[in-house]
C-alpha cells in the first residue's frame, strides 16, 4: 500500500553541474534528520549552516524549512541548497540516507501532496505538464489546471448533470403518482445536458491537442508538394523534395510554433495505387497517421484530386490547392489556394491552422490528458444510452446512467484510487518531483 511514513530524499534540480543544486527531504523525521546531521536547532525558516560531507569536508549550504501542513507535500519538508557539484549532492543525499531517510521514487513528493490533500489528482498531473510544456499555450493550459481550472470545468458540468439527476430521482420516489406529465420535462433536461456535454467534449479534445502538441498530417497525391509545403511552414528543409513520384516512403515528423501553439507536422507518402511494395507500405503508414491527426491538410494540384483521397469527416480538415505560381486556381470552398514554392498565401494557411485552437478562450486553456479523455468518453456513452424510450419506460435505469456519468467525471479529480493506477500516473514524473 502507498504510505507516507518514510522520510524521503532526492535531488530536485536537474542532474549535472550548475551554480546551485537543491536536495529535498520530506517526512515526519525530516527536521530531526537535519538537526542530527548539522547539530543545528533549526529555529529559523531559512538559515545558513555547515553541512558535514565527510569527517574532513564541510559544505556551507542554505536550509529552507517548511513545516507541516504548510509545505508542498503537506509534511515537514527541508530544502537543502548546495553548490551545484554532483559530488556534493551525492554526499548530502548519502548523509541523509545514513540518518534514516529513503530515496524518493519518481513523483513521490507530488504523490504525497495528493495523498495529503494538498493537490487533487488533476492538479498533480498538471505539475508534470508544466515541466514538460514546450509551447506558451501548453504551459498556460497546465498552469490553469494546476490552479484548479480543470476541476472547476468538470464541476460545472456535474452541476448541470445533477439538475437532471435530482428531477429523475425525485420522480422515482413518487411512482404511485401520475408522473407522465413530468416525463417531457425530464426529456428536455436530458436533451439540454446532451447538447452541453457535446460542446464540453469537443473543448476537452481541443485542450488535449494543445497540451500534447497539435498533430497535423499533410495528405495528397504524389508530387502535390507536401514536402515543399511542410518545409515552407517550418522554415527550413526537413523533408526531401524531388520531382520523382514516391520520394517520401516513410512518415517524416517535424514541428514549429504558430501563435504560441506547437504543431507537429507529418509528411506522408503520396496516396495513389502502386505495385511498389515499399511505396505501398508507406501509403499504409500515411493512412495510419491520418487516423491519429488532430488536423488534416489535404493538398492537391486539382480540386478533383480531393475525391481520390481518404477523407475523414470527423477531423478538422483543411483543403488546399497548390502551385498557383504555375497557373491561376480558385480556392476550394472553405479552403485555400497557395504556392508552397513561393510561399504565396502561406500566412493565411498558417493562421487558419492556429485559429482552430485560438478560438478557444486562451485564459481558460486546460491541460487534458488521455486518462481524462477516456473517462469523458465513458461518461458520454452512459449519456448516449438515455433515449426518449428509456425515459418513458425505465426512470431507474436513467438515474443509474446519470449517476455513472457523474462518478466517471468525478474520477478526473477525485478518483476511487488504486495503488496501481496512482503508480502509473506518478511514475511519469522525474525523481525529486
Paired with 49 in beta bridges are: 61
pLDDT over 80 (residue 286): no
pLDDT over 60 (residue 140): yes
Q: Confidence band (pLDDT; 50, 70, 90) for 48?
A: very high
pLDDT over 80 (residue 282): no
pLDDT at 34: 94
Q: How far is the CA of 167 from the CAs of 96, 133, 180, 405, in angstroms?
A: 58, 43, 13, 16
Q: Give 304-317 pLDDT, tens digit per residue.
A: 888 888 788 888 88
pLDDT over 60 (residue 210): yes
pLDDT at 248: 44
The mean pLDDT value for 257-277 works out to 75
pLDDT at 373: 94
pLDDT at 120: 93
pLDDT at 237: 66
> The whole model's pTM is what?
0.80
What is the side-by-side order of every strand in the sheet holding 336-337? 252-258, 261-267, 214-219, 295-300, 316-321, 336-337
Cβ pair 416, 94 in contact under 8 A: no
- Compute the mean pLDDT over every residue in the chain, rounded to the nearest whole number: 86
The mean pLDDT value for 130-137 works out to 88
Q: How far is the CA of 376 from the CAs of 158, 161, 273, in angstroms?
A: 12, 13, 39
Which residue would you say has higher pLDDT here, 273 or 335? Answer: 335
The mean pLDDT value for 309-332 works out to 86
Q: Give 232-243 pLDDT, tens digit per residue.
A: 988 866 554 444
pLDDT at 281: 65
Q: Which residue has the cell 507518402?
A: 269
pLDDT at 246: 44
pLDDT over 80 (residue 250): no
pLDDT at 305: 84
pLDDT at 277: 61
Give the three cell numbers for residue 217: 498530417
What is the bridge-based pairing of β-strands 336-337 and 316-321? parallel
- Give me the domains of the chain, ranges plus CATH numbers: 8-120 (3.30.1360.120), 130-210+369-413 (1.20.120.430), 214-361 (3.40.50.300)
pLDDT at 223: 83
Cα gap 50→34, rounded to integer Å = 11
The mean pLDDT value for 166-182 works out to 73
The mean pLDDT value for 261-277 works out to 71
Q: Give 336-378 pLDDT, tens digit per residue.
A: 998 989 999 999 999 988 887 877 766 788 999 999 999 999 9
pLDDT at 241: 44
Amino acid at each position: 500500500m502507498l504510505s507516507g511514513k518514510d522520510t524521503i530524499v532526492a535531488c530536485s534540480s536537474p542532474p549535472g553541474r550548475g551554480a546551485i543544486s537543491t536536495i529535498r527531504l520530506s517526512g515526519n523525521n525530516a527536521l530531526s534528520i537535519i538537526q542530527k546531521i548539522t547539530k543545528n536547532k533549526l529555529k529559523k525558516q531559512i538559515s545558513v549552516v555547515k553541512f558535514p560531507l565527510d569527517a574532513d569536508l564541510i559544505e556551507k549550504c542554505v536550509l529552507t524549512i517548511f513545516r507541516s501542513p504548510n509545505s508542498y507535500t503537506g509534511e515537514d519538508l527541508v530544502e537543502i541548497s548546495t553548490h551545484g557539484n554532483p559530488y556534493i549532492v551525492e554526499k548530502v543525499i548519502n548523509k541523509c540516507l545514513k540518518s534514516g531517510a529513503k530515496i524518493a521514487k519518481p513523483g513521490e513528493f507530488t504523490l504525497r501532496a495528493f495523498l495529503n490533500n494538498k493537490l487533487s489528482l488533476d492538479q498533480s498531473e498538471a505539475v508534470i505538464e508544466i515541466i514538460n510544456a514546450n509551447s506558451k499555450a501548453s504551459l498556460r493550459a497546465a498552469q490553469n489546471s494546476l490552479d484548479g481550472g480543470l476541476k472547476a470545468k468538470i464541476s460545472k458540468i456535474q452541476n448541470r448533470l445533477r439538475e437532471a439527476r435530482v428531477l429523475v430521482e425525485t420522480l422515482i420516489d413518487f411512482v404511485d403518482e401520475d408522473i407522465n406529465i413530468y416525463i417531457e420535462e425530464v426529456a428536455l433536461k436530458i436533451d439540454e445536458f446532451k447538447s452541453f456535454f457535446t460542446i464540453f467534449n469537443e473543448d476537452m479534445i481541443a485542450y488535449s491537442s494543445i497540451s500534447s502538441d497539435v498533430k497535423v498530417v499533410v495528405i495528397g497525391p504524389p508530387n502535390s508538394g507536401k514536402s515543399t509545403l511542410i518545409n515552407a511552414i517550418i522554415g527550413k528543409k526537413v523533408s526531401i523534395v524531388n520531382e520523382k513520384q514516391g520520394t517520401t516512403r516513410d512518415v517524416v515528423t517535424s514541428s514549429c510554433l504558430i501563435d504560441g501553439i506547437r504543431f507537429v507536422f507529418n509528411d506522408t507518402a503520396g496516396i495513389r495505387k502502386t505495385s511498389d511494395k515499399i511505396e505501398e507500405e508507406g501509403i499504409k503508414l500515411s493512412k495510419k497517421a491520418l487516423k491519429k491527426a488532430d488536423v488534416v491538410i489535404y493538398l492537391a494540384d486539382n480540386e478533383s484530386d480531393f475525391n481520390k483521397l481518404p477523407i475523414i469527416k470527423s477531423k478538422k480538415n483543411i483543403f488546399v490547392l497548390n502551385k498557383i505560381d504555375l497557373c491561376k486556381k480558385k480556392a476550394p470552398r472553405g479552403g485555400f489556394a497557395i504556392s508552397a514554392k513561393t510561399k504565396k498565401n502561406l500566412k493565411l494557411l498558417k493562421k487558419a491552422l492556429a485559429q482552430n485552437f485560438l478560438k478557444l478562450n486562451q485564459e481558460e486553456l486546460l491541460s487534458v490528458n488521455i486518462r481524462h479523455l477516456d473517462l469523458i468518453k465513458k461518461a458520454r456513452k452512459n449519456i448516449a444510452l438515455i433515449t426518449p424510450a428509456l425515459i418513458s419506460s425505465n426512470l431507474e435505469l436513467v438515474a443509474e446512467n446519470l449517476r455513472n456519468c457523474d462518478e466517471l467525471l468525478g474520477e478526473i479529480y477525485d478518483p476511487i484510487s488504486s495503488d496501481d493506477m496512482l503508480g502509473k500516473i506518478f511514475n511519469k514524473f522525474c525523481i525529486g518531483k
